[in-house]
């Protein structure tokens, strides 16, 4: 099984790192090797944040090579163009445009809604994602995030899986 | 902890867990990206941990723990080791008792640092062993190994990590706890621990002999590993470079060095001789390449362009291919900025309006250099604001000298600002000087850690509080004022202007809690108040 590469990008305060925690926890619980890497430090000061999540039977480097992401999830529309270089040809781009303004009770759960959309084209059971939400978030946030996740799943139903390209 | 339990841990969390399993009696350090979470995680899982005012003090406290027979962990970022270098270089001469492991968390690529120094140099310069993990499992295993190595040879050991080890989460299968059998106790050893020249001269010979022994032991230490492969290409790597190289050249034979100082030279020589072409893949300086070349081994290094910034799989592919064509620029992204509502904003607006020459320092407030403020003229290292500001005041013509203000944060002031105040009082410039302490009641930049000026310890419990006003006055500063620059913006600017006009020494404390830390601070203060009240009520006589 080849390594699946996911790059998550956004701005400080959007829950990019939290979303990458949820994704890695889900993949790890499924018995896969997982590596997740990001750069902290200045990120809380509103600057760009990207985090790399890689999973498969054996993962070596924790960083996704440029142009090799199977999935690129961007949490802030202004950051989409900037990060397109991560995505491989045939890879899947997931952006906030998928979640209409006003669809979420609290736009803060956009990160989990976009994960819900991504979950439609990744090979993990819905329950594994819910378990990860329970594990990684405080109890008072479970309900709102489960709702956001479910909304993302409905809106992500039209996404197609990454194309398999020879040699990638 | 069951031995089959799989955990997904950052390198920092893995070091914390291993330190707990090693029975560390006290963890000390000073916050600094990417090392900060080690002590926080250690404290969360029940380990005794405390922040020191700076890295030098942290290491000295750790030395005391070691002399008392306890295992001890000291954490810091790469530039923090510069601050701790004075005790470190002599600690190596001393026979330690409890195991002492110093974590150096380097920041190649400078995600959040003022320089890109490669702390592998410290092992060679200070004469101490160095371990470099390649993932969180090795961070766990090597931490335990480092304590055992430290106790066996009675020597400090550096565990060198980098951002991609500290902040990458990977699988860890922990083992059973392996604490030291030793109980804290004091044994007198004057020639071994009192480094006067008469005792230090033989100690220098002794440490060189220890390193020779460790080098021999390292040949079979099990900490270095060969990943077999095609003999046409051999790669020697350490730390995160091991992972990049294994991915970039999956067919190559690879020697992954774990105990990277002192080097297992026989093992390396045999490896080099076993392959057709041998290349050293190392992040940062050309240290390993130089050491092997000096030893007469035929190895290739990397082109100079790869000395800069982090390595990754693509760059390692290029190094192997000898590709020196310009690299595609990485996406730059949106730079960080001072938070909306941060009181540093008012401070830098005032400094800008008053046309100040600002000797700056290290912290969130360094962002005052960026637009729209552009109100910082120098930034060197922790505490440099005061010394640099004084130097400028001494040399500039009067009109310009008067515009010089030193700006330093609260945690930075405790870390390295006090000696600057002593200098100011001892050697006052003719125009006097103004030091502006931007006190937001936390170490904000690294994620809001406590420090001696907050009156709370690492785990946010109340402790003694260092009073900046009293300290500055006691040290001999004539004018000391405290203002909230957000609530009393006009007053703040007025006082600053007045201080700049005088030929006197002044400290202005711009005091307002960091907006990110404020909710927690309010909660803690409320809890402390309730506790005090409850204690007071209980103590009151019953009518």
Confidence of residue B534 (pLDDT cuts 50, 70, 90): confident
How close A49 comes to chain B (CA, Å)? 8
What is the mean pLDDT of the segment spanning A94-105? Answer: 92
Q: Domain ranges in chain A? A: 4-155
Which residue among A33, A38, A45 places its CB closest to the CB of B339? Answer: A45
- All residues at 6 or more sequence positions from B40 whose CB lies less than 8 Å from its CB, including other chains: B49, B449, B458
Q: What is the pLDDT of residues A113-136, one digit of tens each?
A: 999 999 999 999 999 999 999 999
How close A66 comes to chain B (CA, Å)? 8
The chain B residue lying nearest A79, using CA atoms, is B333
CATH code assigned to A4-155: 3.40.920.10
**CA-based nearest residue to B303, from B319, B317, B292:** B319
What is the C-alpha separation between B97 and B69, in angstroms, rounded?
5
Cβ–Cβ under 8 Å, residues B165 and B108: no
Report chain B residues whose CB lies below 8 A from the CB of A39.
Answer: 109, 111-112, 163, 167
Which residue among A37, A78, A85 places its CB closest to the CB of B331? Answer: A85
Q: How many helices (H) and strands (E) does chain B have?
A: 21, 18
Show the DSSP H helices in B187-309 as ranges: 190-193, 197-218, 240-248, 265-274, 287-294
Which residue among B8, B314, B337 places its CB closest to the CB of A45? Answer: B337
Contact A47 B335 (CB under 8 A): yes
Whole-angstrom CA distances from B151 to B75, B89, B148 are 18, 18, 5
What is the C-alpha separation between A46 and B338, in angstroms, rounded?
8
B48, two tokens: 């005794």
| Substitution target from B133, B247, B327 for chain A, most A beta carbons within 10 A | B247
**CA-based nearest residue to B48, from B455, B415, B458:** B458
What is the sign of the dihedral through the CA atoms of B428, B429, B434 and B440?
Answer: negative
How close A64 comes to chain B (CA, Å)? 8
Q: What is the pLDDT of residues B27-56, one digit of tens each?
A: 999 999 999 999 999 999 999 999 999 999
Report chain B residues whose CB lies below 8 A from the CB of A47.
Answer: 333-337
What is the value of pTM for the model shown?
0.96
Report chain B residues whose CB lies below 8 A from the CB of A62.
Answer: 135, 164, 168, 170, 240, 243
Amino acid A165: pLDDT = 67
The chain A residue lying nearest B241, using CA atoms, is A61
The structure tokens 């996911």 sit at A6
For chain B, give the longest Cα–Cα distance.
93
The chain B residue lying nearest A85, using CA atoms, is B331
Beta sheet of B404-409, edge-to-edge order? B357-359, B404-409, B433-439, B505-511, B479-483
Cβ–Cβ under 8 Å, residues A57 and A28: no
Q: pLDDT at residue B540 above 70? A: no
Q: pLDDT at residue B221 above 80? A: yes
Cβ–Cβ under 8 Å, residues B22 and B99: yes
Amino acid B8: pLDDT = 98
| Substitution target from B334, B335, B342, B364 for chain A, most A beta carbons within 10 A | B334
Contact B333 A38 (CB under 8 A): no
To the nearest 10 degrees (0 to 180), the angle between helices B240-248 and B313-321 is 60
The chain A residue lying nearest B447, using CA atoms, is A41
**CA-based nearest residue to B347, from B141, B511, B480, B188:** B511
**CA-based nearest residue to B102, from B134, B138, B78:** B78
Contact A46 B170 (CB under 8 A): no
A28, two tokens: 């790890």
Contact A35 B312 (CB under 8 A): no
Q: What is the pLDDT of residues B276-332, one digit of tens each?
A: 999 999 999 999 999 999 999 999 999 999 999 999 999 999 999 999 999 988 777
To 10 degrees, the CA torsion angle through B233, B239, B243, B249?
-10
Contact B333 A28 (CB under 8 A): no
The chain A residue lying nearest B11, using CA atoms, is A37
Q: What is the pLDDT of residues A20-33, one digit of tens each?
A: 999 999 999 999 99
Cβ–Cβ under 8 Å, residues B155 and B93: no
The chain A residue lying nearest B109, using CA atoms, is A39
Q: pLDDT at residue A43 above 70? A: no
Q: What is the pLDDT of residues B373-432, one digit of tens each?
A: 999 999 999 999 999 999 999 999 999 999 999 999 999 999 999 999 999 999 999 999
Which residue among A12, A25, A65 places its CB closest to the CB of B313? Answer: A65
Amino acid A41: pLDDT = 55
Confidence of residue B537 (pLDDT cuts 50, 70, 90): low
Q: pLDDT at residue B3 above 60? A: no
- Mean pLDDT value across chain B: 96
Q: What is the pLDDT of residues B438-478, one digit of tens each?
A: 999 999 999 999 999 999 999 999 999 999 999 999 999 99
Q: What is the pLDDT of residues B345-359, one digit of tens each?
A: 999 999 999 999 999
B63, two tokens: 């030395």
What is the mean pLDDT of the segment spanning B239-250? Answer: 98
**Angle formed at CA B502 by CA B405 and CA B352, multiple of 5 degrees:** 35
Share of chain B above pLDDT 90, in %: 94
Amino acid B328: pLDDT = 87
Contact B244 A61 (CB under 8 A): yes
Contact A39 B171 (CB under 8 A): no
| Domains, in order of start, for chain B | 7-218 (3.40.50.970), 225-321 (3.40.50.920), 344-527 (3.40.50.970)
Contact A65 B314 (CB under 8 A): yes
Radius of gyration of chain B from its Cα atoms, rounded to whole angstroms: 26
Report chain B residues whose CB lies below 8 A from the CB of A24.
Answer: 8, 169
What is the mean pLDDT of the segment spanning B507-536? Answer: 92
Q: pLDDT at residue B542 above 60? A: no
What is the mean pLDDT of the segment spanning B248-253? Answer: 98
Q: What is the pLDDT of residues B190-207, one digit of tens each?
A: 999 999 999 999 999 999
Contact A60 B244 (CB under 8 A): yes
What phi and psi, each to the nearest 5 degrees, are found at residue A35?
-130, 135
**CA-based nearest residue to B432, from B499, B370, B352:** B499
Kind and range of the H or E run holding B481: strand B479-483
Cβ–Cβ under 8 Å, residues B403 and B357: yes
Three-state SS letters, B343-412: CHHHHHHHHHHCCCEEECCCCHHHHHHCCCCCCCCECCCCCHHHHHHHHHHHHCCHHHHCCEEEEEEHHH
Report chain B residues whose CB lies below 8 A from the CB of A46.
Answer: 334, 336-337, 339
**CA-based nearest residue to A144, from A99, A112, A100:** A112
| Substitution target from A63, A79, A136 for chain B, most B beta carbons within 10 A | A63
To 10 degrees, the CA torsion angle through B134, B137, B140, B146?
-50
Amino acid A155: pLDDT = 93
The structure tokens 């009518």 sit at B543
Predicted complex ipTM? 0.94
Amino acid B543: pLDDT = 44
Which residue among A42, A60, A83 places its CB closest to the CB of B331? Answer: A83
What is the mean pLDDT of the segment spanning A156-163? Answer: 86
């Amino acid at each position: 099984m080849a390594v699946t590469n996911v790059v998550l990008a956004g701005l400080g305060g959007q829950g990019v790192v939290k979303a990458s925690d949820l994704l890695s926890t889900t993949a790890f619980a499924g018995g896969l090797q997982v590596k997740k890497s990001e750069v902290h430090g200045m990120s809380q000061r509103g600057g760009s944040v990207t985090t790399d999540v890689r999973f498969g039977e054996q993962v070596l480097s924790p960083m996704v090579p440029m142009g090799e992401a199977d999935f690129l999830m961007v949490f802030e529309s202004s950051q989409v163009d900037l990060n397109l270089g991560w995505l491989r040809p045939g890879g899947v781009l997931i952006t906030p445009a998928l979640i209409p303004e006003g669809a979420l009770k609290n736009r803060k759960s956009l990160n989990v809604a976009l994960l819900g959309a991504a979950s439609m084209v990744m090979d993990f059971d819905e329950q594994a994602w819910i378990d990860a939400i329970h594990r990684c978030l405080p109890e008072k946030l479970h309900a709102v995030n489960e709702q956001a996740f479910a909304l993302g799943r409905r809106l992500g139903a039209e996404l197609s899986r990454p194309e398999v390209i020879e040699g990638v | 902890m069951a031995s089959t339990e799989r955990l997904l841990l950052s390198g920092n969390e893995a070091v914390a867990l291993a330190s707990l399993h090693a029975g560390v009696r006290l963890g000390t350090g000073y916050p600094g990206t990417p090392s900060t979470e080690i002590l926080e995680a250690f404290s969360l899982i029940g380990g005794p941990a405390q922040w020191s005012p700076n890295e030098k003090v942290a290491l000295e406290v750790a030395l005391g723990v070691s002399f008392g027979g306890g295992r001890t962990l000291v954490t810091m970022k790469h530039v923090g080791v510069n601050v701790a270098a004075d005790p470190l270089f002599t600690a190596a001469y001393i026979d330690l008792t409890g195991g002492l492991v110093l974590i150096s968390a380097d920041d190649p690529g400078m995600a959040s640092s003022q320089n890109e120094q490669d702390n592998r140099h410290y092992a060679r310069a200070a004469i101490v062993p160095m371990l470099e993990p390649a993932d969180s499992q090795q961070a766990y295993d090597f931490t335990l190994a480092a304590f055992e190595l430290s106790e066996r040879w009675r020597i400090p050991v550096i565990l060198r990590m980098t951002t991609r080890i500290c902040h990458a989460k990977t699988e860890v299968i922990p083992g059973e706890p392996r604490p030291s059998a030793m109980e804290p106790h004091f044994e007198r050893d004057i020639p071994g621990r009192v480094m006067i020249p008469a005792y230090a001269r033989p100690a220098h010979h002794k440490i060189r002999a220890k390193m020779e022994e460790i080098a021999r032991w390292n040949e079979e230490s099990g900490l270095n590993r060969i990943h077999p492969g095609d003999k046409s290409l051999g790669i020697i790597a350490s730390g995160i470079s091991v992972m990049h190289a294994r991915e970039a050249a999956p067919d190559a034979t690879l020697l992954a060095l774990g105990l990277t100082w002192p080097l297992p030279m026989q093992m390396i020589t045999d490896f080099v001789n076993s392959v057709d072409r041998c290349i050293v893949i190392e992040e940062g300086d050309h240290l390993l390449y130089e050491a092997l070349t000096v030893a007469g081994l035929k190895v290739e290094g990397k082109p100079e362009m790869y000395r800069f910034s982090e390595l990754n799989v693509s760059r390692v592919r290029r190094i192997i291919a000898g590709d020196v064509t310009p690299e595609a620029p990485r996406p730059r992204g949106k730079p960080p900025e001072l938070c909306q509502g941060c009181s540093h904003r008012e401070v830098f607006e005032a400094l800008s309006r008053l046309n100040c020459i600002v000797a700056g320092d290290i912290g969130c407030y360094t962002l005052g250099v960026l637009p729209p403020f552009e109100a910082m003229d120098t930034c060197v290292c922790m505490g440099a604001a005061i010394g640099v500001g004084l130097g400028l005041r001494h040399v500039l013509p009067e009109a310009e000298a008067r515009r010089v203000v030193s700006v330093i944060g609260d945690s930075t002031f405790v870390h390295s600002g006090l000696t600057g105040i002593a200098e100011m009082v001892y050697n006052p410039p003719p125009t006097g000087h103004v030091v502006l302490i931007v006190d937001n009641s936390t170490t904000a930049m690294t994620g809001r850690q406590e420090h001696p000026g907050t009156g709370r310890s690492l785990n946010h419990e109340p402790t003694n509080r260092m009073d900046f006003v009293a300290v500055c006055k006691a040290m001999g500063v004539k004018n000391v004022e405290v203002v909230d620059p957000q609530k009393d913006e006009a007053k703040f600017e007025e006082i600053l202007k007045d201080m700049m006009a005088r030929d006197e020494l002044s400290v202005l404390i711009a005091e307002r809690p960091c907006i990110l830390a404020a909710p927690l601070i309010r909660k803690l203060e409320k809890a402390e108040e309730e506790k005090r009240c409850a204690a007071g009520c209980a103590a009151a006589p019953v009518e």
